[in-house]
């Protein structure tokens, strides 16, 4: 039987950063509130959560990179709302923000929860920021918690795996 590793959903004893865009703030604030709620419900202390604000989603990757570089956090939650307009600007902002945050997640030793909404309409943003489709800020925080715990499991020294036959014999 293979050994399965999975993170738990306990935030106690860990520090989390939330990086959030101010553009479309009326929706982003709902994401931030839900992310904080998720962290605190999962055991994070109020003092272990810090929120960093930037102008828009395009600035999130640079801010996230600098926050991660401080070494103070085990998890980061990136939040923003981009709503399609009449120009291709939407595609550029969403693509660059997503690629930049994915690069931070791949390179950093910090768990990254992605909560940048890319919506065609305001109604879609409302649905994903606490309406009938749930709240993606809450979801992104839960991802950061789970991955932070999984990273801890990976970093911890592991006992050598026992052959399956030895494990079965021991159970008898």
> What would the pLDDT profile of 151-167 be if each residue is shown by its tens digit?
999 998 875 655 555 55
- Rounded to an integer, what distance in angstroms lies between the CA atom of residue 134 and that of residue 132? 6
31, pLDDT greater than 60: yes
Is residue 89 part of the annotated active site? The answer reads yes
Q: What's residue 88's pLDDT?
A: 86
Average pLDDT along the chain: 92
Residues 2-30 pLDDT 10s? 989 899 999 999 999 999 999 999 999 99
Out of 4-8, 35-39, 62-66, 113-117, which region has the weakest mean confidence (pLDDT)? 4-8
Total number of residues shown for the chain: 172
Q: Would you state the structure tokens that stand for residue 107, as one six-digit string?
A: 């390179």
Q: What's residue 172's pLDDT?
A: 53
What sign does the dihedral 150-154-156-160 (CA atoms) show? positive
Q: What's residue 6's pLDDT?
A: 92
119, pLDDT greater than 60: yes
Query: Sorting pLDDT into bands at 50, 70 and 90, what band is 132?
Result: confident
- Average confidence (pLDDT) over 33-39: 98
Selecting among 41, 89, 162, 169, the annotated active-site residue is 89
Q: What's residue 8's pLDDT?
A: 93
Q: How far is CA 77 from CA 65, 112, 171, in A?
A: 12, 6, 42
48, pLDDT greater than 60: yes
Going by C-beta distance under 8 Å and a sequence separation of 6 or more, which residues neighbour residue 126? 27
Residues 84-108 pLDDT 10s? 988 888 999 999 999 999 999 999 9
């Amino acid at each position: 039987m293979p050994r399965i590793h999975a993170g738990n959903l306990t935030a106690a004893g860990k520090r989390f950063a939330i990086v959030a865009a101010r553009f479309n703030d009326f929706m982003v604030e709902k994401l931030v509130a839900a992310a904080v709620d998720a962290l605190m419900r999962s055991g994070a202390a109020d003092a272990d959560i810090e929120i960093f604000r930037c102008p828009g989603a395009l600035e999130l990757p640079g801010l996230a990179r600098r926050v991660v570089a401080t070494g103070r956090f085990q998890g980061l939650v990136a939040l923003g709302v981009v709503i399609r307009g009449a120009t291709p600007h939407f595609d550029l902002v969403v693509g660059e923000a997503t690629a930049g945050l994915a690069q931070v997640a791949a390179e950093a030793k910090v768990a990254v929860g992605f909560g940048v909404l890319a919506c065609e309409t305001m109604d879609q943003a409302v649905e994903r920021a606490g309406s009938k489709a749930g709240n993606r800020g809450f979801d992104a925080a839960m991802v950061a918690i789970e991955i932070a715990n999984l990273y801890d499991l990976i970093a911890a020294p592991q006992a050598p795996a026992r052959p399956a036959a030895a494990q079965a014999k021991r159970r008898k």
